[in-house]
Amino acid sequence: MSIRDKLPAGSPLGFGTAPLGNMFRAIPDAEAAATVRAAWEHGTRFFDTAPFYGAGLAELRLGEWLPKQPRDSYAISTKVGRLVLDEIEDPAARNQGEKPGVFAAGRPNKIQLDYSAEGTERSIDGSMKRLGVDRIDLVFVHDVAQDFHGDEWLARFEEARRGAFRALTRLRDQGVIKAWGLGVNKTEPCELLLGLKEFKPDGFLLAGRYTLLDHSHALQRLMPLALKRGAEIIVGGPYSSGILAGGATFEYQKAPPEIIAKVDRLREIAVRHHVSLKAAALQFCMAHPAVAAVIPGASKPDRIAEDHAALSESIPPDFWRELREQNLVDPAAPLPAN
């Protein structure tokens, strides 16, 4: 059974709910609720979230809508590795690794790292309570990587190997969850896990590493290995932190000049072929056979409508051909035109 088989039929476009955790800005409750409602009304049936997103805020906001819907009609993925506690702390003072202040506007509940087996089960229980559901479909071990833990990431990975990986394997075998893997922004932890014979992850939620703007590293290393091991990829951050959707950030920071220049070249070609850059970004991700779904984030209802329109937009083969000729995509990257 693949990740695709565990998602509702016809659900390659999911909703990444990190923005609902007040990612970089405080979102009014009414706006958040309208965004979740718009996702459902446009046909979204796969929702990804995490305790980290605003210290449970994104899960709570999803929990105001999803329990009202038939449980078998949608799939939820969440993360483990961080526990949301009742204690209070300053959200702006948290260690966010390479993404300082990402959830400074989130809830003030203290967040505690915990990749143990016991912590994994506690995390799942907490997520189910905040979401108001009786089960979670897919569970990803969150951010066990360099961008959050620096030189200590391998030690954290070992904690997860001894704890979370074994717990999630057992829960999957018992039918409590349907699938598990890693939810990370780097390829190396995924490659390391795929090299461990004692585990068989179902797939990975890989954010920002297989996009129209940044894909060669993952294409060469992770994607062929994932195909070989039968692990599928859910692509997070398909707009490269916003710059492919008209924003100014890349990797959650102000985009450097070389990235801006590359995006300008992509946009010029898109305009010439009457293609929206959002459509190109989403459809590029979905063209790889290892990719099961793509989950752009959104904090406004109109963004949801744009995402659904972008995935179904007709893009002429000449557009992709020109990207290839201009060396704007890796020569080995599968393209929708193929």
Tokens found for residue 284: 């590029």
* pLDDT, mean of residues 29-56: 98
Catalytic residue among 6, 74, 79, 147: 79
Under 8 Å CB-to-CB from 132, ≥6 apart: which residues? 63, 64, 66, 67
* pLDDT, mean of residues 149-177: 97
Indicate the domain borders of the chain.
8-325
48 has catalytic annotation: yes
* pLDDT, mean of residues 242-263: 94
Catalytic residue among 48, 143, 202, 307: 48
Residues 97-123: tens digit of each pLDDT: 888 889 999 999 999 999 999 999 999
90 has catalytic annotation: no
Which pTM does this prediction carry? Answer: 0.97
pLDDT of 94 above 90: no
**SS3 (DSSP) at 336:** coil
pLDDT of 229 above 90: yes
Quick one: pLDDT at residue 33?
A: 98
* pLDDT, mean of residues 223-244: 97
Quick one: pLDDT at residue 338?
A: 67
CATH tag, 8-325: 3.20.20.100
What is the rounded CA–CA span in Å between residue 147 and residue 251?
11
For residues 96 and 222, which has the higher predicted lDDT (pLDDT)?
Answer: 222
Quick one: pLDDT at residue 95?
A: 79
pLDDT of 18 above 80: yes
Quick one: pLDDT at residue 125?
A: 98
Catalytic residue among 6, 53, 147, 202: 53
What pLDDT band is residue 17 in, cutting at 50, 70 and 90?
A: very high
239 has catalytic annotation: no
DSSP 110: E
Say if CB 80 and CB 142 are below 8 A apart: yes
Residues 287-329: tens digit of each pLDDT: 999 999 999 999 999 999 999 999 999 999 999 999 999 999 9
Say if CB 185 and CB 143 are below 8 A apart: yes
